[in-house]
Amino acid sequence: MKPNPEMTDSSRDEILVIASGLFQRFGLDKTTMREIAEAVGKGKSTLYHYFTSKDEVFYAVARRELVDVVDIIESGIKPATSAKDKFRKFFTIRDQAMAAKAKLYPLIFSDTKRHVSLFSKIQREGNSAEVAILKTILLEGIAGGEFTRIKAEQCDAIAITIITALHGMYIELALDGKMLSSEAKVETLTYIFVGGLK
């Protein structure tokens, strides 16, 4: 996943790096545009030159994080030689990245309910990127003879189903206060999804 060309501006990048730190410390609701401008050492008018609102700043920060996660997943699955191994690596890397982001931005998760449309937009972009990765793995598995029960035209629906199931699983585990080990989640997911495709 490639960042937007507009993200190459050094002042904009500086704003996003500093805003990210503020969001990590104070959360989305308690961080203000004034505080971001002060931390960057620029006037609010300079900040408004790049972003029209705090939500827009947060969206840009979240998009950068998303690009990083997708890049990590893509480079992590590249060395795997089978679709099954790529699935396993996808689940492992995604799980580790999600856990790391949750630790990095603990206050953000408490702000989610108050910013549903913003978080939904970010999640949709993440879903699209992950669906594209999974679709590629599925197509490679079909081409390599690993997945004989599915056809290429089913790959979009299967990839969307996998991502939806992942979200549901993580939400249920979080609501129940149960956190399976990363290894247990990865093995279960690989068994269910890869086993069902063979």
What pLDDT digit, counting tens, does each position of 39-51 carry? Answer: 999 888 889 999 9
Helices 54-77 and 116-143 cross at an angle (nearest 10°) of 20
Which strand (E) or helix (H) includes residue 3? none
Amino acid at 129: A
Of the candidates 2, 132, 121, the residue with the CA atom closest to the CA atom of residue 67: 2
For the stretch 157-166, contacts whose Cβ atoms lie closer than 8 Å and that sit 24 or more positions apart, written own/partner, are 158/134, 158/197, 159/130, 159/131, 159/132, 159/134, 159/135, 160/127, 160/131, 162/134, 162/193, 163/127, 163/130, 163/131, 163/134, 166/94
- Comparing 43-52, 75-84, 151-160, which segment has the lowest mean pLDDT? 43-52
Q: Which helix (H) or strand (E) holds 164?
A: helix 155-176
Residues 6+ apart with CB under 8 A from 162: 134, 193
pLDDT score of 100 more than 90: no
pLDDT of residue 72: 92
Residue 191 has pLDDT above 80, yes or no: no
Instruction: Give the distance, in angstroms, between the CA of residue 5 and the centroid of all CA atoms in the same chain.
Output: 20
Q: What is the pLDDT of residue 132?
A: 96
Whether 16 has a pLDDT exceeding 80, the answer reads yes
Residue 7 pLDDT: 44
pLDDT tens column, 120-147: 788 888 889 999 999 999 999 999 999 9
Tell me the fold of 5-197: Tetracycline Repressor; domain 2 (1.10.357)
The residue count for the chain? 198
CB 23 within 8 A of CB 31: yes
What whole-number distance in Å separates Cα of residue 157 and Cα of residue 146?
18
Mean pLDDT of 86-113: 77
Mean residue pLDDT of the chain comes to 84
The pLDDT confidence band at residue 109, using thresholds 50, 70 and 90, is low
**What pTM did the predictor assign?**
0.79
C-beta of residue 192 within 8 angstroms of C-beta of residue 91 = no
Q: Which region holds residue 53: left if phi is over 0, alpha if psi is between -120 and 50, else beta?
A: beta
- Higher model confidence: residue 11 or residue 83? 83
